[in-house]
Amino acid sequence: MLNMMFLCGQAQTETADWQQQRHDLQVGIGTPFVAGLYVGNYLHYAGYGPLWWIPSNQAGYWLGRDVYRGTSFISPALSVSYRYQVARWCKVGVTLSYAGTYAAVFDRVTNEKVGRVDDHLISIMPTVQFLWLHRKYVELYSGVSIGYSFSTGPYYDEMLQKNIVYTEHYCGFQVTGIGVKAGKKWYGFAELGIGVQGCLSAGFGYRFNNNSNN
């Protein structure tokens, strides 16, 4: 708390003119853990999940084709964000993020490839950021985003024995505990938090003003 007060005090005495670069566009890449939970939820019902695995041991599934996922890949959580600085200590904006899982599905007995299980989680979220420190080259901040997410993609249905395309809807979120930006117009950033953009994320961005003189 003392630290925050100290940093806020410093922010108050900051002389940089934040109004010169109120627009902020950034792209980021993050760990997909939470995104994996979202898409994994659906796979759980299908009997084979990417993050945990529960055998499809209900009697109804005994008559289905016994399948398993091959090597799968969960993409990093990719995001594009735009923010507008409304005050020295506050930015608002919107974030678009994507994370996906991709895997082939194989018959367990014959090892024949029978289908796919892919999930694409897309989120669009209004965002607000609170700056603790706003200096010429460094910013420290926290933030929160809450919005709409949906996942879609094919999965192999072992009872119907064919690929089905599904869509699920969720509440998307991202809470950034602490973030740091370094740079002036072009900057790099790293964040620790939790949500669809990742627990650990990093990337780069560009600050600009709609006034061409800046």
Partner 1 sequence: MKKYIFVILTIILISGCTREERGQLTQRGHEICSAWNTAVDAILTDDVNPAFVLNAWIISDEAERYIIEDRYFPQYKIRQVDATTYGLYKGAEPYSTINTHGTHITDEGAVWTVTNHFGYSYAIFPIVEEDRTVSITNLGNDQWAIALDSAGFPQSVTHWTLSLERFTNHCSIFAENFTLSGDGAFAFPVDSYWEMQYGSTDEPVMQHYTLERPMQNDANDGNKLKWEDGKLSLTVSHSGYESVDVVMEVLAYFHYGITYRGVTEVWDRIGDTVYYE
* Contacting positions for partner 1 (CB under 8 A): 29-33, 36, 45, 48, 50-51, 53, 55, 57-64, 66, 68-76, 101, 106, 108-109, 111, 157, 159-160, 188, 190, 198, 200-202
Shortest Å, Cβ 12 to partner 1 = 28
Q: Helix (H, G, I), strand (E, B), or coil: what is residue 209? A: coil
Is 128 or 199 the residue whose CB approaches partner 1 more closely?
199
- 18 or 187, CB closer to partner 1? 187
Of residues 52 and 148, the one with the C-beta less far from partner 1? 52
> Which tokens hold the place of 208?
């600009």
CA-CA distances (angstroms) from residue 133 to 10, 15, 34?
7, 12, 28
Shorter beta-carbon distance to partner 1: residue 2 or 59 = 59
Nearer CB in complex with partner 1: 89/106? 106
Burial class of residue 28, CB neighbours in 10 A (0-12, 13-18, 19+):
buried
CA–CA gap between residue 214 and residue 198 (Å, rounded): 33
Backbone Cα Rg of the chain: 22
- The nearest distance, CB 26 to partner 1, in angstroms, is 15
Rounded least distance, CB 156 to partner 1, Å:
13
User: For residue 53, what are the β-bridge partners?
Assistant: none
CB atoms within 10 A of CB 116: 16
Minimum distance from CB of 117 to partner 1 (Å)?
10
- Residue 145 or residue 201: which is nearer to partner 1 going by CB? 201
Q: How far is the CB of 15 from partner 1 (least distance, A)?
A: 25
Region of 2 please: left (phi>0), alpha (psi -120 to 50) or beta.
alpha
**CB 29 → partner 1: shortest distance, Å?**
6
| Residue 202 contacts residue 191 (beta carbons within 8 Å) | yes
